[in-house]
Every structure is written in structure tokens, then in C-alpha cells.
Amino acid sequence: MNIPPLRRVMVARDPAEQHRVATPLELLFDLCFVAAVGQAAVQLHHGLAEGHFAEFGIGYVMVFFAIWWAWMNFTWFASAFDTDDALYRALTLLQMGGVLVLAAGVPGAFHDYDFTVVTIGYVVMRVAMVAQWLRAAREHPESRGCSLRYAAGISVVQIGWLLRLALPHPWAEAGFAVLVLAELAVPAFAERRDLTPWHPHHIAERYGLFTIIVLGEVVLAVTAAIQEDVSDGGWSPELLEIGIGGLLMIFAMWWIYFKHSAAEQLRDAKRAPLAWGYGHYLVFAAVAAVGAGLEVAIDVNAHKAHVSTVSGALTVAIPLIVYLVTTAVLHSRMADAGAPVLVLTGVGCALLVVVALLADRLTISGSVLTMGILMALSLIAGLVLQQRRIPAR
């Protein structure tokens, strides 16, 4: 039986290590973060159903950044320095505690625009990350410079997040934008000379698993909304159309994401990792927002929402468009697919907009079903295009 030691020296993992896969601790870590994703999606659903598009949309963007960025930083660090000893696990536990605190503060951030609890939870996660980087700097001399730059950069930005709590509106929003740019700049600053030895296949798997987990959160949320409507008034053809359309969307999003493997491209392309990693903010946020939009569509169908049919359809179409555009750009970079994929995506997005704008004639359920069919057709067209390009390579 392989029992991890209580203490081992933190040294870099081999980027070419065979059979490098996600650990049980990483999967537990992901589940804690998806709890926060679920809270953000729930609040987005309620806000959109009430017609508070701008304020709840901005709140969602802000909260989701905190969730995604903390998850992403740990994921890349763990790919390079996962010692899996007691101290490493304890610091990971602290990060999981931080995201649960963040999740508890999500309702206040959306309804009262109070980001105090969210910020505290976020800073707790980031402080734990600083401790991990300081340990790597001490125990792995080859990466000391890079690790210390990470620790210093993260620490400075966290002071900024705490100071931002004292800023009034609209300076708080401006402060948020500045601090986001500062957070995004830390990896470029830290790795300007030395690169952390992350594992391409492990990173690709970690991102893929998180995508699946967020898709699972969408399935859970939509299923719960349908069950609530069924208990209130029983099954209806319209509810069945929304269910079928939503299932087609979820399955198409899953297939579109996994039709290309990013591992080899991450290994070979010099600039790809940064763009690929950052682009997943939109991937993850869009997937969760599709779930919120489908719940709004269910509310519109049951006459529980305070928005028009067209607005309800747009809450589904817009995140789908964000997802399609982002994955198309990432795939074009990864698979060298180029213009054909982007043109195909543009046509699909235009059709989604048309269907949403015709929702008054199609009904909300008909619009969702049609959008699901369009997603399936977009997937099929992409697969055909991919197969035609393979012999030419």
C-alpha cells in the first residue's frame, strides 16, 4: 500500500513524467470550487429572471474571476510541485476553506454589492498559495527566483484587494479592473526568466475535468428547475422541449471541447499555454451561465420570470456564443484550424442570435430546442471539417 509520507522535500515534478494524472486531492479541490461556481450561477439566474441584467452580469464576472483565478493558480502550481505530503495537503485544505468562505459571500456580493466576505475568502486562498511558493523557493533551489517572484507578486496584489474594500463606488470597480490586470501580470512577471516545470498532459486533463464538473453542475441545476416545474404543474410539451434542447447543448459543448487534445500543442507552442489557460475563464464562466440561462428559460415558460420571451432566450444564446467563440479561438490556436473554424463559428453564432430574436414567434421552449439543434449541427459541421483536414496534415 502506497502511503504518502508526512514530510518530503518539495522538488519539481518531471514535465515528461509518465502516467501523470489528476490526484484524488485535486478532484476534491475541484468539487469545492464548483460549489462556489454553483452559487454564482444561482445568483445569476435569479438576477436575470428579475431583469437585472447589467448589475448581476457585472457581479457574475467579478465573482467568477476570483473563483477561476484561485483555481487556475493552484492547478498550475500543483502540476509542477505536487509533493502530496501532510504540509502540502494542509495548505490545500486551507485553500478549500477559503473558497467555501468565498461561496458564502456570493449572495451578498450580488444583492448588496458587498464583496467583503468574497474578498476575505479569496485572500485566504491566495495567502495559502504564497506559502506554497515560499516552500518551493526554499526546498527547490533551481526555481527559487521564479517562486519568490510569484510569492512577492501575489502578496502585493492581495494587499491591494484588501485596500479596495475601502473604495467607494465607482472607484471600487476601477480598482477591481486594475487588480485583475495585476493578477494576470504576475505569471508573466514571475516566469520572465525561468519557467515552472508544469506537465502538459496533466494540465490538459485538469482543465478538461473541471469543464466536465461545471457541465455536471449545469445538468444538476437544470434538472432541479425542471423537477420544480413538474411538481407545480406536471409535464408539458414545452418543458420537454426545453429539456431536450438543454441536453443537446450540454452534450454539444462537451464534444466541442474534447474534439481536440491540447496536450501536445501545450508542449510545443511557446505562447499557447498562457493564452490557453487565460481563455478558459470565458469557457468556464460561459458553461455555468448557460445553466443559469436555461433556468431563466424554464421560469419564462412557467410565467415566473419578469423578463420578455426574447430576453429569456438571449440569456441562453449569449453564453452559448461566448463559449463557441472562445473554444473556436482556442482550437484554432491549438489545432492550427485557422479561418474555416472561425467562419463556421460565426455562422453558428449569427443563427443563435436570430433564433433568440424570434423567440416571440417560436416560444421560449421552441427557441431553446432550436438552439440545441443548432449546437448539435455546429458540432457535426466541425467534426466534418476536422476529418477533411486530417489527410492534408
Per-residue model confidence (pLDDT) at position 389 = 64
User: 164 lies in which domain range?
Assistant: 24-190
The structural domain count of the chain equals: 2
Q: Indicate the burial class of 266 (C-beta count within 10 angstroms; 0-12, 13-18, 19 or more).
A: buried
185, 211: one domain: no
Is residue 8 a part of any domain in this protein?
no
Of 39 and 235, the structure prediction assigns the larger pLDDT to 39
Q: Per-residue pLDDT for 337 more than 60?
A: no
In a domain, 273, yes or no: yes
Same-domain status, 222 and 170: no
Report percent pLDDT > 90 for the chain. Answer: 71
The reply to whether 311 and 332 lie within a common domain is yes
Domain edge (last residue) among 151, 167, 190: 190
Give, for 1, the enclosing helix (H) or strand (E). Answer: none
Lowest mean pLDDT among 213-217, 223-227, 287-291: 223-227
pLDDT in tens, 252-271: 999 999 987 777 777 765 55
pLDDT tens digits, 137-180:
999 999 999 999 999 999 999 999 999 999 988 889 999 999 99
Q: Identify the residue with better confidence: 273 or 22.
A: 22
pLDDT for residue 240 is more than 70: yes
**Alpha-carbon separation of residue 230 from 2, 8, 21, 105 (angstroms):** 49, 54, 41, 31
Q: What is the pLDDT of residue 16?
A: 83
pLDDT at residue number 382? 83
pLDDT level of residue 228 (50, 70, 90 thresholds): confident
Domain ends where: 168, 190, 212? 190
Whether residue 121 is found in the same domain as residue 220: no
pLDDT value of position 12: 87
**Percentage of residues in the chain having pLDDT higher than 70:** 94
The answer as to whether 11 is a domain residue is no
**Quick check: is 149 in a domain?**
yes
pLDDT at 392 (0 to 100): 43
For residue 78, tell me if it sits in a domain: yes
**Structural domain includes residue 50:** yes
267/323: higher pLDDT? 323
Clarify whether residues 245 and 115 are in a common domain. Answer: no
Q: How far is CA 107 from CA 208, 231, 393, in A?
A: 28, 26, 50
Same domain, 329 and 181: no
- The whole-angstrom separation of Cα 86 and Cα 7 is 6
Residue 67 shares a structural domain with residue 158: yes
* CATH number of the CATH domain containing 314: 1.20.1410
169 and 216 fall within a common domain: no
Q: Which three cell numbers stand for residue 312?
A: 429569456
The DSSP annotation for 143-208 comes to GHHHHHHHHHHHHHHHHHHHHHTTPPTTHHHHHHHHHHHHHHHHHHHHTSS------HHHHHHHHH
Contact 291, 41 (CB under 8 A): yes
- Report the pLDDT value the prediction gives residue 2, as an integer from 0 to 100: 62
Q: Is residue 3 part of a domain?
A: no
Maximum pairwise Cα distance, the chain: 66
Confidence of residue 393 (pLDDT cuts 50, 70, 90): very low
Q: Could you tell me if residue 324 is inside a domain? A: yes
349 grid coordinates: 453564432
**In whole numbers, what is the pLDDT of the chain averaged over residues?**
90
Is 335 in the same domain as 375?
A: yes
The answer to whether residue 196 scores a pLDDT higher than 90 is no
End position of a domain, from candidates 156, 190, 224: 190
Confidence at residue 39, expressed as pLDDT on a 0 to 100 scale: 94
Instruction: Assess whether 174 and 44 both reside in one domain.
Output: yes
297 and 168 in one domain? no
* One domain for residues 175 and 46: yes
Lowest-pLDDT range of 35-44, 89-98, 129-138, 324-333: 324-333
Q: What is the pLDDT of residue 300?
A: 95
